[in-house]
Chain A
Amino acid sequence: MDNLAYENLAWAVLIGHIAIIVAGGFITVLAQSLVRALMGLILTLFGVAGLFFLMAAPFIGLMQLLIYVGAVSVLIFFAIMLTNAWPGGDESGKKSGRQMVFALLAALAPVVLLGSAALRTAPPSVLIPEETEVQELGRFLMEPYILPFELISLLLTVAMAGAVILGFERRKKR
């Protein structure tokens, strides 16, 4: 294949993934059943992972699949199973049109502000991103950015400890 064919293929992949993301986003916020909404979220996560691969960052794409699709989705699925998530449960029932209008207004505000800013002030972009080796990434994380790395590990520890403590309190009262 010549260069033009590769470029067309890249655009097709980009537009396909954007379509997946948009469809998944709409399913996530509009589906009646929360299980379907979670499936929409997983679709979106796959689309974003595809965009990461397209940006020549396969490591981050794989991490997205492992952490989001593998771990966070399962956690949310546990949360769904614990609550009244069946089609006749908490989430169903008539929602007022007023709520819909307010939600649309709330969602449109950042679209207008940030969208116009992004369109007006976009710097010229590189068409072909370079791939970074994981080795370099690790060195970057251990040398100049050691403080955020340590802080995120502290945050994870505190979050796990907090989750365990909340769970224990629940058990004591029973």
Chain B
Amino acid sequence: MSLMTIYHLVAIFLLAAGIFGIAYRRTLVGIVLGIELMLNGAGLSIMASAQLTPAPNELGQVGALLVMGVAAAEATLLLAILLVVLKRFKHVEADKLITMRG
């Protein structure tokens, strides 16, 4: 097993943990935690693919940075959405949010 495969397996574990969290958690905050896990796995996978192969190193590092930027933007927006949901429904349980009009 090559070194890159080990890193990729760790990234796949993070992806699987994130999907499990999204399906298993009950509140929106728990789902956000799962999404963050998956994004981290994506960054790790991009990074390993560039650093541990003859591909240009800058490509992977810039890719990981862009993933971090997307994650930061996403976390900001999710906090705002969560505030609005909490204001309108008084709870953030995903299974009970079944109407879009509030």
Q: Mark B1-23, 1 if CB is under 8 A from A, else 0.
A: 11111111110111111011101
Judging by beta carbons under 8 Å apart, are A57 and B16 in contact? no
On chain A, the residues within 8 Å of B1 by CB distance are 119, 122
The size of the chain B interface, using a CB distance under 8 A, is 72
Q: Mark A79-92, 1 if CB is under 8 A from B, else 0.
A: 11011110000110
Give the residues from 76 to 101 in chain B that come closer than 8 angstroms, CB to CB, to chain A.
76-84, 86-87, 91-93
**Complex partner residue of A122 from B2, B27, B79, B82, CB under 8 angstroms:** B2
On chain B, the residues within 8 Å of A59 by CB distance are 61
Judging by beta carbons under 8 Å apart, are A140 and B47 in contact? no
On chain B, the residues within 8 Å of A106 by CB distance are 19-20, 23
Judging by beta carbons under 8 Å apart, are A79 and B29 in contact? yes
The complex places the Cα of A114 from the Cα of B60 at a distance, in Å, of: 20
Judging by beta carbons under 8 Å apart, are B80 and A167 in contact? yes
Q: Mark A101-128, 1 if CB is under 8 A from B, else 0.
A: 0111011101100110011001111110
**Complex partner residue of A103 from B24, B29, B71, B81, CB under 8 angstroms:** B24
Judging by beta carbons under 8 Å apart, are A55 and B47 in contact? yes
On chain A, the residues within 8 Å of B91 by CB distance are 83-84, 90
**Complex partner residue of B72 from A71, A95, A127, A136, CB under 8 angstroms:** A71
Judging by beta carbons under 8 Å apart, are A29 and B80 in contact? no
Judging by beta carbons under 8 Å apart, are A60 and B65 in contact? yes
Judging by beta carbons under 8 Å apart, are B19 and A107 in contact? yes
**Complex partner residue of B75 from A75, A91, A93, CB under 8 angstroms:** A75
Q: List 22 A-B contacts (CB under 8 A).
A: A28-B33, A34-B30, A34-B33, A38-B33, A48-B14, A51-B7, A63-B68, A64-B43, A72-B36, A75-B79, A76-B36, A83-B29, A84-B92, A90-B27, A91-B30, A99-B24, A110-B12, A110-B15, A123-B4, A137-B58, A156-B72, A167-B80
- The interface of chain A, by Cβ under 8 A from chain B, is 14, 18, 21-22, 25-26, 28-29, 34, 37-38, 41, 44-45, 48, 51-52, 55-57, 59-60, 63-64, 67-68, 71-72, 75-76, 78-80, 82-85, 90-91, 93, 95, 99-100, 102-104, 106-108, 110-111, 114-115, 118-119, 122-127, 129-130, 132, 136-137, 140-141, 145, 148, 152, 155-156, 158-160, 162-164, 166-167, 169-170, 173
